[in-house]
Amino acid sequence: MSVTPVKVLKAAFCQVAVVDDLRVNVENAISAIRNAVKTKSGVKLVVLPETFNCPYGTEHFRKFSEPVPSGYTCQKLSKVCKELDIFLIAGSIIEIDEQGKLYNTVTIWNPKGELIGKHRKIHLFDISVTRNGGCIFKESSVLTPGDKPTIVTIEGRKFGIGICHDIRFDELAKLYALEGCQAIIYPSGFDVCQGEMYWKLLQQARAIDNSCFVGMICAARDSSASYVDYGHSMLVNPWGDVLVEAGEGEETVFVDFDFSIIDDYKRELPILSQRRTDLYGVNYKKF
């Protein structure tokens, strides 16, 4: 049955803290979800950060891994969505498959508690940055990359899903835009080094170029951790305006996806319809 697309979708970005205890992290996330829905009337979508139930570090990933959707975390997420009648873009968890391979995976749930989408991080975070304090990380030492884009429909609107480092690859965002997505959500764990340099800039670039909303949701900052998250969960509109930005600590910020902004932008700047694929030779495969 088709759903009439909503004009405005009310959402909450939950910037939760993460500790070295899976069940504590899950209960903290569930509490944040419940508080968000209780605090703000009409919230229909909640979003969590990358690896919200696991410290971000390759040494932790196998220990915290779970099957999807039968694992402890997924069962808890399914239950709370049904209880609160919400959609949930559930950050990411470390998924383990039947062959023992590990993936960095976003799960997306509907108000019936059903899994409606699963995005495995396509572009693994392998970097060695020296400036601005530096950061060295190699997800590929333990994780397997995903190989499929992910689009879900929430209240009649198409959302593209990525995870953190996926935002650096503009072709993924362009594919989502050409498939009709009006928002792209990247649960993220940007480190403070890169956050200072690129956090807002990347979101503005993807939003402006693709005529859509772009949001990144990070974990709260813990300066004592071996990997320090940036915080500053954010939503940007296609004009490049920052609609909301969290601070560094635990915080839930509320956002309105007003889709009339997308219509206005596309009418005034119809860049997607003006693309010269014949000139560039770029083929964005339909899926």
How far apart CA 66 and CA 62 sit, in angstroms, is 9
The pair of structure tokens assigned to 93 is: 């968890």
Report yes or no on 1 lying in a domain: no
Report yes or no on 124 lying in a domain: yes
Write down the pTM of the prediction. 0.93
- The highest-confidence range among 56-60, 258-262, 264-268, by mean pLDDT, is 258-262
By annotation, the residues acting in catalysis are 50, 121, 164
Report yes or no on 95 lying in a domain: yes
Report yes or no on 72 lying in a domain: yes
pLDDT at 49 over 50: yes
Average pLDDT rounded to a whole number, residues 217-240? 92
Amino acid at 44: K
User: Tell me, what CATH number does 128's domain have?
Assistant: 3.60.110.10
pLDDT at 18: 96
How far apart CA 137 and CA 227 sit, in angstroms, is 9
Average pLDDT rounded to a whole number, residues 176-199? 89
> What is the band of 134 on the pLDDT scale with cuts at 50, 70, 90?
low
How far apart CA 96 and CA 66 sit, in angstroms, is 5
pLDDT at 263 over 80: yes
Residues in contact with 220: Cβ distance below 8 Å, sequence separation at least 6, in sequence order: 15, 16, 17, 18, 229, 231, 248, 249, 250, 251
pLDDT at 21 over 90: yes
> What is the band of 54 on the pLDDT scale with cuts at 50, 70, 90?
very high
> What is the band of 286 on the pLDDT scale with cuts at 50, 70, 90?
very low
- Contact criterion met (CB below 8 Å) for 104 and 139: yes
Which residues span the domain enclosing 18?
8-280
Average pLDDT rounded to a whole number, residues 113-135? 82
The CA-based diameter of the chain, rounded to the nearest angstrom, is 53
Average pLDDT rounded to a whole number, residues 72-95? 98
- Contact criterion met (CB below 8 Å) for 43 and 247: no
How far apart CA 75 and CA 275 sit, in angstroms, is 43
Report yes or no on 43 lying in a domain: yes
pLDDT at 133 over 80: no
Which of 217, 193, 66 is CA-nearest to residue 137? 193
Q: How many domains does the chain have?
A: 1
Report yes or no on 233 lying in a domain: yes
The pair of structure tokens assigned to 91 is: 């950050």
Average pLDDT rounded to a whole number, residues 163-185? 95
> What is the band of 136 on the pLDDT scale with cuts at 50, 70, 90?
low
> What is the band of 270 on the pLDDT scale with cuts at 50, 70, 90?
confident
Report yes or no on 285 lying in a domain: no
Mean model confidence pLDDT for the chain? 92
Average pLDDT rounded to a whole number, residues 65-85? 98
> What is the band of 287 on the pLDDT scale with cuts at 50, 70, 90?
very low
The pair of structure tokens assigned to 252 is: 């839930």
Q: For a pLDDT cut of 70, what percent of the chain falls above it?
A: 91
Report yes or no on 287 lying in a domain: no
